[in-house]
């Protein structure tokens, strides 16, 4: 195993992590922005108003994207396991 191979594996891991987390983080960001805008317009400064909708939205995104996320993770794991003989060289 050389340095280029290790960098390639780490790069694929980072890309996979970003792909998996992008929908959840994006929805959390969007919901947070909408709630902040609503709070600025109405001048309601309630802490639970920001927390509860974000938790619900992120949970729904996790439930809806679970099959896609699991397939991406399984593909990455299978790829890593198939690379093991090449690492031993």
**Each residue's pLDDT expressed in tens, for the chain with a length of 89 residues:** 688 888 988 999 999 999 999 999 999 999 999 999 998 898 888 877 888 999 999 999 999 999 999 999 999 999 999 988 877 76
Range of the domain at 25: 21-87
- Looking at residue 65, its pLDDT comes to 96
pTM more than 0.85: no
Evaluate whether residue 45 is within a structural domain. Answer: yes
Please, are residues 26 and 44 in contact by the beta-carbon 8 Å criterion?
no
- Looking at residue 83, its pLDDT comes to 86
> Cα–Cα distance between 14 and 75 in angstroms, integer?
14
Could you give the number of structural domains in the chain?
1
Angle value at C-alpha 6, between 19 and 14, nearest 5 degrees: 15
Largest interatomic CA distance in the chain: 64
Evaluate whether residue 3 is within a structural domain. Answer: no
Evaluate whether residue 7 is within a structural domain. Answer: no
């Amino acid at each position: 195993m050389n340095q280029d191979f290790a960098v390639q594996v780490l790069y694929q891991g980072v890309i996979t992590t970003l792909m998996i987390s992008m929908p959840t983080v994006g929805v959390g960001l969007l919901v947070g922005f909408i709630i902040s805008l609503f709070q600025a317009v109405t001048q309601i400064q309630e802490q639970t108003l920001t927390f509860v909708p974000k938790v619900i939205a992120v949970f729904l995104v996790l439930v809806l994207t679970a099959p896609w996320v699991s397939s991406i993770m399984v593909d990455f794991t299978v790829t890593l396991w198939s690379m093991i003989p090449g690492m031993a060289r």
